[in-house]
Amino acid sequence: MEYCNCFESPWPADELLMKYQYISDFFIALAYFSIPLELIYFVKKSAVFPYRWVLVQFGAFIVLCGATHLINLWTFNMHTRTVAVVMTTAKVLTAAVSCATALMLVHIIPDLLSVKTRELFLKNKAAELDREMGLIRTQEETGRHVRMLTHEIRSTLDRHTILKTTLVELGRTLALEECALWMPSQTGLELNLSYTLHHIMPVGLSVPIQLPVINQVFNTSHAVKISPSSPVAWLRSSGNNMPGEVVAVRVPLLHLSNFQIHDWPELSTKRYALLVLTLPSNSARQWHVHELELVEVVADQVAVALSHAAILEESMKARDLLMKQNLALDVARREAETAVHARNDFLAVMNHEMRTPIHAIIALSSLLQETELSPEQRLMVETILKSSNLLATLINDVLDLSRLEDGSLQLEIGTFNLHSLFREVLNLIKPIAAVKKLYVTLILSPDLIEHAVGDEKRLMQVLLNVVGNAIKFTKEGGVTVSAFVTKSDSLRDPRAPDFFPAHSDNHFYLRVEVKDTGSGINPQEIPKLFMKFVQSQPLATKNPGGSGLGLAICKRFVNLMEGHIWIESDGPGRGSTVIFIVKLGIPARLNESKLPFLHKAPGNQIELNFSGLKVVVMDDNSVGRMVTKGLLVHLGCDVLAVSSAEECVRAVSNEHKVVFLDVSMAAVDSFEVAVRMREKFSKRSERPFIVALTGNTERMIKEKCRKVGMDGVILKPVSVDKMRRVLSDILEHGYLVESQ
């Protein structure tokens, strides 16, 4: 018998069982073959699969298993040895591969597992990043809100708008239930509720500033969470609502503009306002850090904006004030100008009005003196005369001084004899000095020129005043007047460092020293002497004289003459010296010579300029008046023609240099005009020259003219040449050289 490998089954082979096994093996093989196909298919599809060779291994394992099971199908029945060998080979291979695979999987599975872990880890990370992104976005939002808020706040300079905007924007950004600003009161002891967003609390509520919660907030620059039940966060009792969290922050109120945003000066700011923010109740929201930061930033910005607004308000107020002040000053200035004008007008009028009666009094009193008087009457008249002279001097001084102050006084420059000026002053002084038994000495330096150009009248006035003062304040001894030309070095007065006399070719500086042996002056009093209306009280004197103006006027005249005047004294009882320096011109020899003017031959045309010379023509005959006027106009004069004596006397002023009177007028006595004009102008230098025009060749007329004080007579008809000669003669000499 053949050796049979078939198993002797203990039980008889069941056909059914066999069938089922047969089918199962078949399906198993199918599955085993299809799995690698699937794997290959899907792996081919996927892009990334790091374990290909594992796949191959696995595939091989599966295939072999499948083959095994497939071959198993043939072993159910009687099978040949080949089948048995194939079966055995397949099983052996399968065993090998499966063991290899099993071993390999030990390595692979942890790897696969770790992939999963990484994946989980990455997912977590992504979630975290998402969260953070959300946070950043929120922050960015709030940042945007802050910027917008700041922009809103800073875009206006009105404090109310600033504050209201702040509250509105904050409320919107942070979704607040209530936002309130408490401002310190004027006294600084209370906080008043000034602005609220939703008006949950009434405006005007006030709270004392010394509450601990408020102090706590004020002491830090951070936003502080406070209890919802504190007075500043007071909510109306809203039942059983859970009140939202409350945060308060201080808002510094600055009044200065020098602050730095990150470095609040702790000391200088004393006043704070309180900003209280309430989250909605029942919202379970909490204050986040970034929200608190936002609130702090906003508070800073509000502080800045408020201070800017305050500064602007102040500067507007200051500007308004300045404008008002300007207007007031303008008005005041105009008023002052008007006052000055009024004063000048007044002075101008009083000048004439006051002088006229005074002169009348003086003239008539002197005339009265000439008549027969009893001794008492004579005494009375003398007193009247003295008083009125004093008054006249006083008036003149005051009026002169006011003109000097205005700067309206101008020097009348002319050529004069310097030596004779000194002599004249001394002659005037000598009688008074003789009465007081004082000597008067005049020393004229040999290099002092005889003639000079300057204001003779004012210089004489200064000299007279100074010498007169010397005499007045000297009881014994005398007065010495010395005059010399000075060089630049000795001109400098140590007390007048600003006085820089400049030399030039046609000017020189005259230095006059008036030394007296009188009562002397206290050195401290010296500056006061030159001030108006100040009288130094001499020690024991009954001298009432002087208005105190004399030296002040002298000083001004000397200054006008570009000079300087000062007093030196060694003290009371040691006498004093008045020194003044004035600038005078040197007359050019050729054309300013005062040599007698010889009558030139008619052919010699002298170009003398009469342009602008003011003259008056009086003639009641209209034709004759017109002809004479035409004559003078042709020569360049500024002619005023009058037709009556009244008009003539009224119109003539000291600006007119010559008055031409027609004496052939029958109805009017022209001689009377001459007399009245002499009366009107008491000073010789102010009076115009009076020239008579007559067609009458009688000698009587000439005599009469001379007697009434006329300066010349011209026979009509007058030619242009004749008039020119007459004018030049009269202006040169003051009288007509020969009768024309």
Nearest to 221 by CA among 250, 184, 256: 250
Amino acid (one-letter) located at 598? L
- Choice between 405 and 672, CB closer to another protein: 672
The DSSP result for 602-646, as a single string, is TTS------TT-EEEEE-SSHHHHHHHHHHHHHTT-EEEEE-SHH
Record the tokens describing residue 486, joined without a space. Answer: 């000075």
- Choice between 527 and 695, CB closer to another protein: 695
- Choice between 24 and 621, CB closer to another protein: 621
| Cβ contacts of 410 within 8 Å, gap of 6 or more | none
Record the tokens describing residue 236, joined without a space. Answer: 């109306």
Residue 723 and residue 693 in contact, taking contact as beta carbons nearer than 8 Å: no
Residue 282 and residue 241 in contact, taking contact as beta carbons nearer than 8 Å: yes
**Min separation Cβ 637 and another protein, Å:** 12
**Min separation Cβ 719 and another protein, Å:** 5
Residue holding tokens 């108006």?
532
| Cβ contacts of 235 within 8 Å, gap of 6 or more | 178, 200, 201, 228, 243, 278, 281
- Choice between 240 and 697, CB closer to another protein: 697
| Cβ contacts of 581 within 8 Å, gap of 6 or more | 486, 491, 501, 509, 510, 511, 512, 558, 563, 564, 565
- Choice between 36 and 624, CB closer to another protein: 624
Sheet holding 246-252, edge to edge: 206-208, 190-196, 178-184, 272-278, 246-252, 224-226
DSSP code of 571?
S
- Choice between 179 and 639, CB closer to another protein: 639
**Min separation Cβ 631 and another protein, Å:** 6
- Choice between 706 and 716, CB closer to another protein: 716
> Distance between the two ends of the chain, CA-based, in angstroms?
208
Residue 190 and residue 257 in contact, taking contact as beta carbons nearer than 8 Å: no
Which spans of this chain sit near another protein (rule: CB under 8 A)? 621-624, 626-628, 630-631, 633-634, 662, 664, 666-667, 695, 716-720
Burial state string for 481-503 with b = 16 or more CB within 10 A and e = fewer than 16: bbbbeeeeeebeeeeeeeeebee
- Choice between 489 and 607, CB closer to another protein: 607
Cα distance between residue 721 and residue 490, in whole Å = 52
Record the tokens describing residue 342, joined without a space. Answer: 């009024």
**Min separation Cβ 635 and another protein, Å:** 9
Residue 629 and residue 615 in contact, taking contact as beta carbons nearer than 8 Å: no
Residue 674 and residue 713 in contact, taking contact as beta carbons nearer than 8 Å: no
Nearest to 530 by CA among 558, 504, 511: 558
- Choice between 208 and 630, CB closer to another protein: 630
**Min separation Cβ 740 and another protein, Å:** 15
Residue 614 and residue 638 in contact, taking contact as beta carbons nearer than 8 Å: yes
Gyration radius from the chain CA atoms: 64
- Choice between 662 and 729, CB closer to another protein: 662
- Choice between 414 and 636, CB closer to another protein: 636
- Choice between 316 and 720, CB closer to another protein: 720
Record the tokens describing residue 388, joined without a space. Answer: 């009125």
Record the tokens describing residue 431, joined without a space. Answer: 């009688």
- Choice between 210 and 609, CB closer to another protein: 609
Which residues, in sequence order, are bridge partners of residue 195?
A: 181
**Min separation Cβ 715 and another protein, Å:** 11
**Min separation Cβ 693 and another protein, Å:** 10
Residue 217 and residue 201 in contact, taking contact as beta carbons nearer than 8 Å: no
- Choice between 543 and 611, CB closer to another protein: 611
**Min separation Cβ 591 and another protein, Å:** 27
**Min separation Cβ 702 and another protein, Å:** 19
Residue 72 and residue 87 in contact, taking contact as beta carbons nearer than 8 Å: yes
HSE at residue 344, side-chain half, CA atoms within 13 A, is 12
**Min separation Cβ 639 and another protein, Å:** 12
**Min separation Cβ 671 and another protein, Å:** 17
How far is CA 622 from each of CA 491, 617, 619, 691, rounded to the nearest angstrom? 60, 11, 7, 19
**Min separation Cβ 667 and another protein, Å:** 6
Cα distance between residue 651 and residue 643, in whole Å = 11
- Choice between 405 and 721, CB closer to another protein: 721
**Min separation Cβ 730 and another protein, Å:** 20
- Choice between 360 and 633, CB closer to another protein: 633
- Choice between 393 and 643, CB closer to another protein: 643
Record the tokens describing residue 319, joined without a space. Answer: 């500007």
**Min separation Cβ 665 and another protein, Å:** 8
Cα distance between residue 200 and residue 630, in whole Å = 101
Is the torsion defined by CA of 28, 32, 37, 40 positive or negative?
positive
**Cis amide prior to 523 (ω within 30 degrees):** no
Nearest to 574 by CA among 522, 644, 531, 622: 522
**Min separation Cβ 739 and another protein, Å:** 19
Cα distance between residue 473 and residue 345, in whole Å = 37
